[in-house]
Structure 1
């Protein structure tokens, strides 16, 4: 028991570190539509393209995506492709009526490779043979729910779902016959559940369950950190061609929210605009961000010390007199 309690010593610090800071007003939102299809129960990824919205269920579903008309919330098309899904978690635009589907989830950190597949979407039912590519982190397996596609180059990026989100770049050209090596680029918002590029191609938004961060691209300097409106389990974010930001959540008949960046953030984005660059330079992660950046250090440190003191007393009490 003494060993168990000693092993728990870091836990109070971790809990305090992950706890949110002072309550802030979330950004304004309104209901854009809700999914009416009873088959959409765990919207995990979201893409807005060509006046339609594409979503995909979380782990446990088959290889299929849903095309939804945002005017009604009704499913107007389903695309299925070959093979069996492991843990599909993410979507990214691919252009020309296609999306990238990321079978990237790995809660158990047990997968040697993950898979991305390019498939068409649109109205009507279709069964296709999608172009699939295997990716590898080259080290310890990672869980990831965010897939980004650079609108300038088309290059793919995977963002892991750790306490510190890590961005990995895929090769510029994917090889369908070999495992494609991912390269670490930088660190961003932790517990990332989805991300999307803004229409200017020079900024990207990444969300988790309660927050969203906006970054410059390709430097990944953070511009803003925002509190999101409450959702059952918010996991999807998409940006329309007009710049509208949509947020989806797991749950049957779930609402999709429309949010707008605050005026000061929009002004800051206009002021930080720069010429687009092909891609960020793959390099060792430099730690630009954390899971909750507006949290003061002293509350979680004080809470951690208090928890550690309690554990120390328990350890002492268990020793034989």
Structure 2
């Protein structure tokens, strides 16, 4: 396994349509390395590039990006060139710069959010690009950058579908106003609450696709906390606290792929508060977590995640129109999910392990 090895190459034919598949158990993840620097206790964004890992924390610990070696030891801290409000994710652009997603808004009251560009050489160069949603404030912890360098933001929503946004007109990160703001437009929604129930180590060989899914399970896998695009641009990953969803992006854009169904959804090993995900150049998938007051959790790796999707033969569904109904999800379950989701927010109850403690 070449965790930080060479990139993948080659093109593949465009995908056809897919149907929902049950998430599978996390049997292939292993420990990559374990951080030791306590400043990484709120690790929220992760990028793998050039044989290194770049890690950033969220609000309160997002003033610098850590450069990690293969053993997770901090080799360098790179100051963020702009004072951020709440960085929640990070991606790498085609020019090699890091793009920090300053999009955290737990109370949903920010008039603008932002993307912050910064170099990886420690030179201090960077830029601020403010963004505005077309439909009011949102909390978001997921940003994805595909080969076209068009940033895609996925909101973090409890009890319902999450919005998928990009700069109006499909502007690339290089075309964003500085400091802006640049208006965003909504491409559609990412709604995975209707997937079949999780399959465990001994899944039912003949599962019932119409079997009910618990509200807690549908919420846990559909509260999105991080995203990444493979270095060859063929696969996108969006994670929650408990799952990672892999989308085949061949023949379409990242934003369009996310409006459909994932090629595969995987149950993740337990993490205290899993929020970070990244692809290595060799196509492995790395996930990381905040510590939540305990010992620093290890970074975990799934080998050959890109090949897993490319060779699966179950490519992603084409784009849906905004507002289209979710498949196989009855109106009653939608109502229950929304009611419980809003009750959790209003009452402060924790049905999901690893919910944020802000």
Q: If the TM-score is normalised by the length of the shorter chain, which range does it land in?
A: 0.7 to 0.9
The structure whose Rg is larger is 1
Aligned to 2:242: 210
**In structure 1, what is the Cα distance between the partners aligned to 2:245 and 2:90?**
18
**In structure 1, what is the Cα distance between the partners aligned to 2:166 and 2:47?**
20
**In structure 2, what is the Cα distance between the partners aligned to 1:224 and 1:44?**
23
| TM-aligned CA deviation for residue 85 of structure 1 | 2.1
Aligned to 2:139: 143
Specify which structure has the higher proportion of strand. Answer: 1
Q: Which runs of no fewer than 5 residues in structure 1 stay unpaired?
A: 1-21, 275-279, 305-321
Cα distance change, pair 228–186 in 1 and its aligned pair in 2 (3 A): same
1:284 aligned onto 2:283:
no
| TM-aligned CA deviation for residue 144 of structure 1 | 0.4
Aligned to 1:10: none
CA RMSD in angstroms, aligned pairs only:
3.4
User: What is the TM-score when the length of structure 1 is the normalising length?
Assistant: 0.74
| TM-aligned CA deviation for residue 226 of structure 1 | 1.5
**In structure 1, what is the Cα distance between the partners aligned to 2:184 and 2:156?**
15
Deviations 1:73-107 (A, max 9, x none): 11112111344221111101124442101111000
| TM-aligned CA deviation for residue 214 of structure 1 | 1.5
Aligned to 2:152: 157
What is the aligned counterpart of 2:164 among 167, 187, 201? 167
**In structure 1, what is the Cα distance between the partners aligned to 2:79 and 2:187?**
32
Cα distance change, pair 212–286 in 1 and its aligned pair in 2 (3 A): farther
Q: Which runs of 4+ in 1 moved over 6 A?
A: 280-283
Cα distance change, pair 149–263 in 1 and its aligned pair in 2 (3 A): closer
**In structure 1, what is the Cα distance between the partners aligned to 2:281 and 2:26?**
24
Aligned to 2:30: 30
1:77 aligned onto 2:76:
yes
1:47 aligned onto 2:47:
yes
Q: Does the aligned pair in 1 maintain the 2:45–2:57 contact within 8 Å?
A: yes
Cα distance change, pair 180–225 in 1 and its aligned pair in 2 (3 A): same
**In structure 2, what is the Cα distance between the partners aligned to 1:237 and 1:176?**
28
Q: Does the aligned pair in 1 maintain the 2:81–2:118 contact within 8 Å?
A: no
| TM-aligned CA deviation for residue 268 of structure 1 | 2.1
Deviations 1:239-289 (A, max 9, x none): 0111000000101532000014498755225x6499xxxxx9897354668
SS at match of 1:242: coil
Aligned to 2:268: 228
1:89 aligned onto 2:88:
yes
SS at match of 1:32: strand
| Correspondence 1:1-321 to 2 at 5 A | 25-69=25-69, 71-122=70-121, 126=122, 128-151=124-147, 153-163=148-158, 164-171=161-168, 172=171, 173-188=175-190, 189=192, 190-217=222-249, 218=253, 219-220=256-257, 221-222=260-261, 223-251=263-291, 252-260=295-303, 261=305, 265-268=309-312, 272=315, 284-286=322-324
**In structure 2, what is the Cα distance between the partners aligned to 1:265 and 1:254?**
27
SS at match of 2:93: strand
Q: Does the aligned pair in 2 maintain the 1:161–1:191 contact within 8 Å?
A: yes
Aligned to 1:17: none
Q: Which runs of no fewer than 5 residues in structure 2 stay unpaired?
A: 1-21, 193-221, 340-358
